[in-house]
Amino acid sequence: MAEGWSRQRVAVIGAGAIGGAIAARLDAIGHEVVVTARGDNLAAIAADGLLLRGAFGTHTAQVEAVPALERRPDVAILATKATGAVAALEASREALADVPLLVVQNGLGGERAAARLLGHERVAGGIALMAANSMEPGTVTVTARGDTIVGGAEGARFAALLGQAIPTSETPSIEGAQWTKLLINMVNAIPAIVGRSVQDVIRDPGLRRVLVAAMRETARTGLASGVRFQPLQGLTPLLVRLVAWGPAALAAQVPLRIKDRLGDVPNLGSTQQSIRRGQPTEVDAINGAVVAAAAALGREAPVNAALVALVHEVERRGRFLQASAVRQLV
């Protein structure tokens, strides 16, 4: 561990793709890590440890694994999907009273929801720009590097902690950064509907056309709501305006850049990983958040609304749809 840093007891609530990667890296640099997990994943981590592979190196973390926290940690990190946050926090609520918490989640305002639930304000927001797959219990593969962005209350504390373990930066506006990530996360729904990788979907001109339309709706809705989009991964506020109002061919450069950043290892996207595990997705917190923000302005976001409906159809049927179901939307 680097000089000047004290060892902390860090709880990671939800040791899936992102939580597992963060937990393993914190363990690797010498923190005392406890994770909460469920079912086969809990059993695998308790028996064999948490195996991290890929862009952040290989490490087997022999962390304590429990269904819920019994002891108060020094700090905690919540990394469940948005859909699992309430149950996971409720289960560890007593141990988390007044503990600084970082909520690493896609979608909008996860940290505000957690602060309301826990009844204290020591809650930071986090955005993962890495890409990670967790398709086998106890195993996480980071398929593309990327910073973890933190901000809001306690942002500096978590930037210092995570910065020891993974590339991390601080944002002056977690809300603006969450909106930029929401624009990037438009790449999640279509792979989850058609069962193909994010890169493969972006390569397909018909699917990319729908993706760009969903991005345009997100950019227009955010700008109309007065959001100050924060720059993330080269997606600057100017580029967000071009996505919203510029020619479609220019807007299409944004998903093409995301594809290049994701590299050659096929990335399923976190929404498709839920589908493949037979779990509910967080599409309502991603595309659904755009529909809700548009509705608050008295507007519609029809492409996002249609993508939400198609993802739910895949969840219900338990099988992917033909690409034509998406291509016909635009």
Ligand X SMILES: NC(=O)C1=CN([C@@H]2O[C@H](COP(=O)(O)OP(=O)(O)OC[C@H]3O[C@@H](n4cnc5c(N)ncnc54)[C@H](OP(=O)(O)O)[C@@H]3O)[C@@H](O)[C@H]2O)C=CC1
- Write down the least CB distance from residue 166 to ligand X, Å: 12
51 binds ligand X (CB under 6 A): no
106 binds ligand KPL (CB under 6 A): yes
Number of chain positions touching ligand KPL (CB under 6 A): 10
Nearer to ligand X, 207 or 286 (CB): 286
Which of 50-58, 62-70, 172-180, 262-270 is the region at the interface with ligand KPL (rule: CB under 6 A)?
Answer: 262-270
Eight-state DSSP code of residue 82: G
Structure tokens at 37: 């997990």
d(CA 208, CA 291): 20
d(CA 229, CA 160): 24
- Write down the least CB distance from residue 141 to ligand KPL, Å: 11
92 binds ligand KPL (CB under 6 A): no
Cβ count near 4 (within 10 Å): 5
Query: Is the backbone of residue 7 left (phi > 0), alpha (psi -120 to 50) or beta?
Result: beta
- Write down the least CB distance from residue 254 to ligand KPL, Å: 12
Nearer to ligand X, 36 or 304 (CB): 36
Whole-angstrom Cα Rg for the chain: 19
23 binds ligand X (CB under 6 A): no
131 binds ligand X (CB under 6 A): yes
| Rounded alpha-carbon distances, angstroms, from residue 269 to 8, 37, 129 | 31, 20, 12
- Write down the least CB distance from residue 203 to ligand KPL, Å: 15
What is the pattern of x (binds ligand X, CB under 6 A) and - over residues 279-308? x--x--------------------------
Report which residue type is found at 41. N
d(CA 76, CA 10): 6
16 binds ligand KPL (CB under 6 A): no
d(CA 212, CA 25): 35
Nearer to ligand X, 229 or 244 (CB): 229
Which of 10-18, 49-57, 253-261, 304-312 is the region at the interface with ligand X (rule: CB under 6 A)?
Answer: 10-18
**Candidate list 12, 41, 123, 201; residue touching ligand X; CB under 6 A:** 41
198 binds, among ligand X, ligand KPL, none (CB under 5 to 8 A by kind): ligand KPL
Spatial neighbors of 78 by CB under 8 A, at least 6 apart, are 13, 14, 19, 85, 88, 89, 101, 102, 103, 104, 105, 110, 114
62 binds ligand X (CB under 6 A): no
Nearer to ligand X, 223 or 262 (CB): 262
**Candidate list 47, 87, 248, 309; residue touching ligand X; CB under 6 A:** 87
**Candidate list 33, 69, 106, 151; residue touching ligand X; CB under 6 A:** 106
What DSSP element (H or E) covers 220? helix 205-224
Contacts (CB under 6 A) with ligand KPL, residues 189-208: 198
281 binds, among ligand X, ligand KPL, none (CB under 5 to 8 A by kind): none
Give the CA dihedral 252, 256, 259, 264, nearest 10 degrees: 150
Closest CA to 180 of 119, 127, 248: 127
199 binds, among ligand KPL, ligand X, none (CB under 5 to 8 A by kind): none
Total length of the chain: 330
Handedness of CA 77, 81, 83, 87 (dihedral sign): negative
- Write down the least CB distance from residue 27 to ligand X, Å: 16
Give contact residues for ligand KPL (rule: CB under 6 A). Answer: 106, 131, 184-185, 187-188, 198, 267, 269-270
